[in-house]
Amino acid sequence: MLIHGDCRAVLPTLEPASFDACITDPPYGDTSLTWDRQVTGWIKGVSHALKPNACIWVFGSMRSLVGVFAEMEAAGFKYAQDIVWEKQNGSGFHNDRFRRVHEHVVQFYRGRWRELFRAPQMTNDARAKTVRRKKRPAHTGNIEAMAYTSVDGGPRLQRSVIRVANMHGRAIHPTEKPVELLVPLVRYSVPPGGRVIDPFAGSASTLVACDMAGVTGVGIERKAEYYVRANERLERGWPLLSVGPTPASKTEGGSEV
């Protein structure tokens, strides 16, 4: 479902406490382009729509996330973890700096971490080895001493640096995110039958990822051009991607983050 309008006006009208997670990519404010202006006030609206135990994944640059952290804290959200999206080519505009080939996506949450839905994601690229781990103290998760053996090509916990090609040459929105990057975030954060809200829907990639993960996605897009094109994308369907099967869903225990 895609809604046309400014998210700051639309979010307060949605049913309160009806979404399990927010996954979104607001403007960063890193360029002089007219559409690239940081938006304030949207986190308060998302807070209204999210359940008491819920999380927000937000994309951003280091500069844009400074303001996001302050707004999240004011709305009662805490930092959980961050992921780096590594792209195959850079997006920087300066030749006197390191070539920028990454973006950040940060997870915030409210409520108790141990009560938050989490389904850790796996990738089938382990190497053969045996690892023995000492007991970890309670404040870092209270993991007991153990040993495990992996095999080549077997499962391992997905790493926090995810390499996925960007959408250059294929995008319908200038900052479109690849669905392959979004599906693990949905599957990690949203229980079966759950709901996701994206206040900056753009090309509706989040909604496509939700569809692939078997949950409901609701997006809000302000610009009429992208609202129309995103709706066309949803109506004509989307190509199946190799993102792996949906894992067994469960909540893992752990300490407060």
pLDDT tens-digit series, residues 175-201: 788 999 999 999 999 999 999 999 999
Residues 104-132, mean pLDDT to the nearest whole number: 83
E strand segments, the chain: 2-4, 19-24, 50-60, 78-86, 102-110, 122-123, 129-133, 146-150, 156-157, 161-163, 195-198, 216-221
pLDDT band at 228 (very low <50, low <70, confident <90, very high): very high
43 and 8 belong to one structural domain: yes
92 and 216 belong to one structural domain: yes
Q: What is the mean pLDDT of the chain?
A: 82
104 and 170 belong to one structural domain: yes
**Count of domains forming the chain:** 2
On whether the CB atoms of residues 52 and 115 are closer than 8 A, the answer is no
Residues 19-37, mean pLDDT to the nearest whole number: 82
Indicate the length of the chain as a whole number: 257
pLDDT attached to residue 129: 61
172 and 139 belong to one structural domain: no
129 and 40 belong to one structural domain: no
Has residue 248 been placed in a domain? no
pLDDT attached to residue 155: 73
Q: What is this structure's pTM?
A: 0.82
pLDDT attached to residue 150: 53
Q: What is the pLDDT of residues 30-70, one digit of tens each?
A: 666 666 677 889 999 999 999 999 999 999 988 889 989 99
pLDDT attached to residue 250: 39
Has residue 97 been placed in a domain? yes
CATH number of the domain residue 14 falls in = 3.40.50.150
Residues 197-221, mean pLDDT to the nearest whole number: 94
144 and 190 belong to one structural domain: no
**3-class SS at 227?**
helix
Lowest mean pLDDT of 2-6, 114-118, 168-172, name the range: 168-172
Has residue 243 been placed in a domain? no
165 and 149 belong to one structural domain: no
Residues 78-98, mean pLDDT to the nearest whole number: 82
pLDDT attached to residue 239: 55
Helix residue spans in the chain (DSSP H): 7-10, 42-49, 62-74, 179-189, 205-213, 224-235
Residues 247-254, mean pLDDT to the nearest whole number: 38
178 and 222 belong to one structural domain: yes
103 and 116 belong to one structural domain: yes
Question: Torsion over CA of 5, 229, 55 and 51, rounded to 10 degrees?
Answer: 50
pLDDT attached to residue 131: 62
133 and 59 belong to one structural domain: no
Q: Which residues have C-beta within 8 Å of that of residue 245, sequence separation ≥ 6?
A: none
pLDDT > 70 in the chain, percent:
75
pLDDT band at 134 (very low <50, low <70, confident <90, very high): low
Q: At what angle do helices 224-235 and 205-213 cross, to 10 degrees?
A: 30
Is residue 166 pLDDT above 90, yes or no? no
Is residue 154 pLDDT above 90, yes or no? no
Residue 17: domain span: 2-121+158-235
pLDDT attached to residue 42: 95
Tell me which of 95 and 223 has the higher pLDDT. 223
Q: Which residues have C-beta within 8 Å of that of residue 94, sequence separation ≥ 6?
A: none
Tell me which of 57 and 153 has the higher pLDDT. 57
